[in-house]
Structure 1
């Protein structure tokens, strides 16, 4: 009994194939370009704003991830930026206003001492020539003069450094620390933005792979769908039929489920590497023949935008 049923099924299939062959008609499928939206950083699904079947626009928020450690890292990075900025400002600016005032006062006092010592040594120099003072007295006064001059020059240099800021090496080091802190802040701010799962293109949501509370890992597909206005028709033909089609050829596609016809243009002809990719329901080919996929793009995308993906279509060769 089973053999009879199998023989009847095979006979029915052969008859269907024969009818299609005689009519020169092949079947194909309505297709849309697929798109997958993945997570870039790990986190739990906090909210999902869409449902399967929804049409979304580019830039729409599809979901939000909960990433608690990002908030802590942002606070750390902001603190590091404040500290590094203060270090750089201190290196560039140098001393505070009060420190500058103290050095100015110190300079003025040492300047008066230096000028007094200079006047004294000039007087003693003349008196030494007239033998009015001893050489010892002159030498002692000269030593005080040189000491006052050294102290005055030292405070001038100290004041100059205070006004100019730290050494160029210190400023460069502080600037590098500041840039590094800003970079760390930008990194965590970028990670914070990635908590929002955004639609990369206008698309339809076909499947949602995770539920609220589940963990999304980096690179894991959260949403699958089809790109809007990307409808095309896919057929499989054997190499013996290639002479009936050529790239750029205009063809009429028949859509059985709504009894409509759509004009299309052959956009791609490529060899199939696997039988699993066959689009034709009853392919008319010998097993040793190479198979080719024919992609036909609708001439008017508006006519094809509402067609149901994976529905059967036909064309005549």
Structure 2
């Protein structure tokens, strides 16, 4: 009786072994991975509202959070004022002086000419008196000097009138235009800062972690949301140095989920050496710890019309 039982047991073992040999699964264990993505801000502010939760899937362009940045409104008012002032300067440079300014200068020119006429008449009188030796040379020179000064003043006022009657010099126009461009640039900078009030999802992604809560201060460059891009699944396998020569970039692989038994076709797109043992993705390494370890990055090549679900860090095996 015992011998019959042993024979039956041996037959079962042989049958199981033969069935396993037809669908051999290697010792290479890998993990499901997704391309990670981080969302941060360029400006400091206080978190006013968070619109998503951890584990939530969002689409590209969805609003993730609102950041309160009070300085933006004040800077916008300053930029608008600078633009208004610069536009006024440029218009004045193009159009020249106003009518009131022209009237003022014309009045000064008229007064200057009147003084020049009076000085010229005084000069003519004293010139005749000097010829008759009725005045001294010093008195005659003083009148001559007053006439020359009045003439110089009139020439100066006429030149000023001509300048303001025409447009400003090219250099002044360029200067005014430069001030306007600088003011517009400052406004654009403020508008860019204003857009940073809202943190927007840069791609279709799943929110994995949220670093801060509402009311807390968010500093520039600090990552508020961590997650991974949906539809960016790949598989990561760690291979010891003694086995790495069995693989090469472009090689086709057949992967299997050990729990659902679903199979997935894949292709190796990169092979790189890992720098540390802690990076190894394996629950039971079957190699010498002195060996170098390499990483295979495998992407899907076809889903064979089967809708498969892949969870982050789920186990995958290579089937041969």
Aligned partner of residue 161 in structure 1, secondary structure: helix
Aligned partner of residue 78 in structure 1, secondary structure: helix
In structure 1, what is the Cα distance between the partners aligned to 2:307 and 2:27? 21
Match of 1:38 in 2: 40
Q: Please state how far the C-alpha of 1:304 moved relative to its aligned partner.
A: 7.5
Match of 1:188 among 181, 186, 190: 190
Aligned partner of residue 243 in structure 2, secondary structure: helix
For 1:276-315, list aligned pairs within 5 A: 276-300=278-302, 306-315=309-318
In structure 1, what is the Cα distance between the partners aligned to 2:215 and 2:161? 63
Q: How many residues align?
A: 286
Work out whether residues 43 and 67 of structure 1, in 8 Å CA contact, stay in contact via their aligned partners in 2: yes
Q: Please state how far the C-alpha of 1:93 moved relative to its aligned partner.
A: 2.2
The range that moved more, 232-241 or 157-166, is 157-166
Q: Please state how far the C-alpha of 1:99 moved relative to its aligned partner.
A: 3.7
In structure 1, what is the Cα distance between the partners aligned to 2:112 and 2:218? 71
Question: What do the CA deviations read for 1:29-51 (whole angstroms, capped 9, x no partner)?
Answer: 00001111112111011111211
Match of 2:58 among 46, 49, 56: 56
Q: Please state how far the C-alpha of 1:316 moved relative to its aligned partner.
A: 3.2
Is 1:251 aligned with 2:272?
no
Is 1:221 aligned with 2:210?
no
In structure 1, what is the Cα distance between the partners aligned to 2:25 and 2:309? 28
1:305–1:45 CA distance, 2 compared to 1 (3 A): farther
**Pairwise CA RMSD:** 3.9
In structure 2, what is the Cα distance between the partners aligned to 1:305 and 1:71? 49
* TM-score normalised by L of structure 2: 0.73
Any stretches of 5+ residues in structure 1 without a counterpart? Answer: 1-18, 112-134, 137-145
In structure 1, what is the Cα distance between the partners aligned to 2:153 and 2:210? 79
1:209–1:148 CA distance, 2 compared to 1 (3 A): closer
The range that moved more, 49-58 or 33-42, is 49-58
Q: Please state how far the C-alpha of 1:103 moved relative to its aligned partner.
A: 6.2
Aligned partner of residue 81 in structure 1, secondary structure: helix
For 1:202-241, list aligned pairs within 5 A: 202-241=204-243
Question: What do the CA deviations read for 1:207-259 (whole angstroms, capped 9, x no partner)?
Answer: 11111111111111100000121101111111211232221111111012322
In structure 1, what is the Cα distance between the partners aligned to 2:237 and 2:307? 16
Aligned partner of residue 24 in structure 1, secondary structure: strand
In structure 1, what is the Cα distance between the partners aligned to 2:248 and 2:300? 16
In structure 2, what is the Cα distance between the partners aligned to 1:161 and 1:308? 78
Question: What do the CA deviations read for 1:103-138 (whole angstroms, capped 9, x no partner)?
Answer: 679989999xxxxxxxxxxxxxxxxxxxxxxx99xx
1:306–1:100 CA distance, 2 compared to 1 (3 A): farther
1:275–1:303 CA distance, 2 compared to 1 (3 A): farther
Aligned partner of residue 242 in structure 2, secondary structure: helix
Match of 2:9 in 1: none
Q: Please state how far the C-alpha of 1:311 moved relative to its aligned partner.
A: 0.5
Question: What do the CA deviations read for 1:156-202 (whole angstroms, capped 9, x no partner)?
Answer: 54343123233444434333333332232222222111111111222
Match of 1:166 in 2: 168
